[in-house]
Structure 1
Amino acid sequence: ARTAFDRARRTHFAQRSTEQAEAKTVKEALVKQAEALADSSDFKQTPKSFRDLMAKWKAAGRAGKSDEEALWSRFKAAQDAFFARLGQENEKTEAEQRENLSKKQALVQRAQALLPLTDLGSAKTTLREIAKEWEGIGPVPRDERAKVEGALRKVEDAVRAAEQEQWRKSDPVARGRAQSTVDQLTTAIDKLRKQLHAAEAAGDERKASEAREAIEARQQWLAQAEAALQEFSG
């Protein structure tokens, strides 16, 4: 029985020794990969690479105690070195984005000073200059992006609306339609007045009343049409 027990024990330790040796080989390769990544400047992809290496590390099993500790010390040193640099890079990026935000906020204030619009042509020129400067500035903090971009967009929308209104007022086709409406209503009212006078002279109160109502309605329409026409000279 002891012989069988000793044989089983030797088999167990031999198997464990083999497994530890295999784990050591795998982890030595993982350490080399980690150390190669320690100085990486790819701050977007490298964190994922370290996560993948860590998953492989956990799946590799344990090497012998002293080997495990030594390998882990090297792996963690490489990982810490990279993430320390990543932290410094993030701080640098955040500082740059805050500076960019200040620059864009200054441009927004410059744009907002154009409102209310008094000179559309000058406002458009200034906005083009602002847009060119804006494009030359880098990204801002994500949580501030919508606010600062929205503030500039409001001014751009106001200028665009004013430009469209200016075009509408100077559109010869639309102005012609407005003038035609005024002329048609004026002609219709003159005709109705003649009909009214004729009805009154003939003592036909029904026709006279109908003419008065028609005149009153068209005078209201004429007032609206004249107001619309006036916008084209405003």
Structure 2
Amino acid sequence: MTDQETTQADGQQGRATPDTTAQGTTTPEAAAATAAPGSTATGAAAPVVPTASEHPERWGRVDEDGTVYVRTADGERSVGSWQAGEPAEGLAHFARKFDDMLTELGLLEARLSSGAGDPKQALGSAKHLKDSLADAAVVGDLTGLAKRVDHVIGRAELAMEAGKAAKEQARAEAVARKQALVDEAEALANDSTQWKAAGDRLRTMLEEWKAVRGVDRKTDEQLWRRFAKARDAFNRRRGSHFAELDRQRSTAKARKQEIVELAESLAGSTEWGETANRYKELMADWKAAGRAPKDADDALWKRFRAAQDQFFSHRSEAFSERDAEFAANAKLKEELLAEADAIDPSTGLEAARGQLYKIQERWDQIGKVPRERVRELEGKLRAIEERVRSAADAQWRRTDPEAEARVAQFRERVEQFEAQAAKARAAGDKRRAEQAESQAAQWREWLAAAESSVANR
């Protein structure tokens, strides 16, 4: 390999594409090598330093007594003594030691370029290497090596600055993330009533909190106190809510127990209307009582429904029997109406009235009929009753003794006044005769009206 090829190979050691973190932030080490491989971040190319082992005579010599010298910008400097063999072997030995230093420096550059190395450690190693150059027992291009070391030191310092900036940015992002978690936790603690969802979210947030790194201790403690306080506040508020809910459910359970006992006590009642209304009231009370614990609520509801079903089942059976009875009663009353319709008062009023009286007694003994038929059947019976009553009224008017007595009285008065008029005329008392005749005429009119009333009955 030629000196030029060796130089190019050395210049390529440690080259790598700048890497980034998972968050997209350039690593400190990669940031120090953002220029082309072998150059600094400011664009200055890395000094090319040739290896010394191929042509060590270019960089040093061995004198006759075996002393080995290296050529520097300040002149020759003794680096050691070689007595074990040929002078060329001595030069080659110290040249290989120079190449070892060059290799070590190349490794530092490679770590800086790849981001795998610690810039601070690389800086320390490069400075230590620089300090050792003044009396290093090597043969090679010490001036070039010194410039190359300075170049590495510069890159390490840039990497440290970039690392510091990146760390500060990461810290700021971590603080912002934890601040966001704190704000969210405080909002949940103050406002949320979605107890399960909020509780699950707070547990997830705690895991997210643990995963956030890079916050300084003081800030982290301050944020953690707020975060923990928010979680405690939410847990207390949730605990109070469920404690109150338990209290309400306990009260609801006791109230529903009372309702169930009342419902069960009414299950055998035959007061159909009153009890049905009472069950409606108990249902409204049940809804107003609120929810009891689920197991108890379900069990109490089954008992309540069972009591209701028992009552309404009995009522339904009773109504079915009653409806059948009422329908039979209606049929019997229809038969009575047919019998009553045959009554004829004109053939004998007293007999007709007797028949009607017996039918009315039998009618009442039969009992109730379906509601929708009450008016129809009662109306037909009233019509027959009215027919018999009208016949009786007509007979009474015809045989009213008071009316007959009035006719006889009016006739007697007419006769009295006619007699007085005749007697007065015979006596020649014209005035008394006319007066008696006038009174007789008045009573005659009344007599005619009374006779007409009796005749029209």
Regarding TM over 0.5, the answer is: yes
**Whole-Å Cα distance in 2 between the matches of residues 4 and 25 of structure 1?**
31
> Separation in 2 of the partners of 1:229 and 1:14?
96
1:96-146 Cα offsets, whole Å, 9 max, x none, are: 111111122211111110136321111011011111112212111122112
Give the alignment's TM-score, normalised by structure 1.
0.74
Equivalence for 1:39: 268
Aligned to 2:307: 78
C-alpha distance 14-227 of structure 1, shift in aligned 2 (>3 A): closer
2:328 aligned with 1:99: yes
Report if the CA contact (8 A) 1:179-1:229 is conserved: no
Superposition deviation, residue 229 in structure 1: 6.5
Contact 1:35 1:78 survives alignment (8 Å): yes
Q: Could you say which structure has the higher helix fraction?
A: 1
Q: Does 1:25 align with 2:254?
A: yes
Aligned match of 2:396: 167
Distance in 2 of aligned mates of 1:76 and 1:159:
56
Larger radius of gyration: 2
- Choose between structure 1 and 2 for higher RCO, CA contacts under 8 A separated by at least 6 residues: 1
Amino acid at match of 2:298: E
Asked whether the 8 Å contact 1:97–1:139 carries over to 2, the reply is: yes
Note if contact 1:105-1:148 (Cα within 8 Å) is conserved in structure 2.
yes
Alignment of 1:196-207 (within 5 A): none
Where does residue 131 of structure 1 map in the other structure? 360
> 2:403·2:454 contact (CA, 8 Å) conserved in 1?
no
| Cα drift, residue 74 of structure 1 | 1.3
Q: CA deviation at 1:231?
A: 6.0
Say which SS state the counterpart of residue 44 (structure 1) adopts: helix
**Cα separation, partners in 2 of 1:53 and 1:173, compared to 1, 3 Å:** closer
* 2:399 is the counterpart of 1:142: no
Q: Does 1:65 align with 2:294?
A: yes
Aligned residue in 1 for 2:285? 56
What stretches of structure 2 of length at least 5 have no aligned partner?
Answer: 1-229, 415-447
1:176-221 CA-partner distances (Å, limit 9, x unpaired): 666889998xxxxxxxxxxxxxxxxxxxxxxxxxxxxxxxxxxxxx
Change (3 A) 1:225 1:182: farther
SS of 2:380's partner is: helix
Note the C-alpha offset of 1:42. 2.2
Give ranges in structure 1 of 5+ residues lacking alignment: 185-221
What displacement does 1:168 show? 1.6
Tell me the percent identity. Answer: 40
Match of 2:244 among 12, 15, 33: 15
- 1:19 offset after TM fit, Å? 0.9
- 2:381 aligns with one of 146, 152, 157: 152
Give the residue type in structure 1 aligned to 2:349: L
In structure 2, what is the Cα distance between the partners aligned to 1:228 and 1:29? Answer: 76
Give the superposed CA RMSD: 2.8
Q: Is the 8 A contact 1:23 1:63 kept in 2?
A: yes
CA distance in 2, matches of 1:6, 1:229: 105
Equivalent AA in structure 1 for residue 272 of structure 2: F
The residue identity in structure 2 corresponding to 1:159 is V
Residues 100 and 140 in structure 1, CA contact (< 8 A), matched pair in contact too? yes
TM-score, with structure 2 as normaliser: 0.40
Question: Structure 2: how far apart are the matches of 1:103 and 1:59?
Answer: 49
Matched residues in 1 for 2:258 and 2:372: separation? Answer: 41
CA contact (8 A) 2:349 2:391 kept: yes
Secondary structure of the structure 2 residue equivalent to 1:139: coil
Partner of 1:209: none
